[in-house]
Amino acid sequence: METLIALLPILSIFFYIVPFVFVSWFLLRILKIQQEKLKVLRSINDKLTK
């Protein structure tokens, strides 16, 4: 029981950090996908304008 009480601060920090890391990873992944789509669309646009 005492070890569980000792782990509570660590668990609370864990529950704050994990969502932050997950959201950051998700946003970076979305940005990368959007950049790839933009490259494809620009290449299509260049081919159509020639």
Whether residue 22 is contained in a domain is answered as: yes
The pLDDT, as a whole number, for residue 39 is: 98
Whether residue 32 is contained in a domain is answered as: yes
Whether residue 4 is contained in a domain is answered as: no
Whether residue 39 is contained in a domain is answered as: yes
Q: In angstroms, how far is the first alpha carbon of the chain from the final one? A: 73
**24-39: average pLDDT:** 98
Whether residue 23 is contained in a domain is answered as: yes
Whether residue 29 is contained in a domain is answered as: yes
Domain of 31, in residue numbers:
15-43
User: What is the distance between the alpha carbons of residues 35 and 41, in angstroms, rounded to a whole number?
Assistant: 10
Number of domains, the chain: 1
The pLDDT, as a whole number, for residue 10 is: 87
**23-36: average pLDDT:** 98
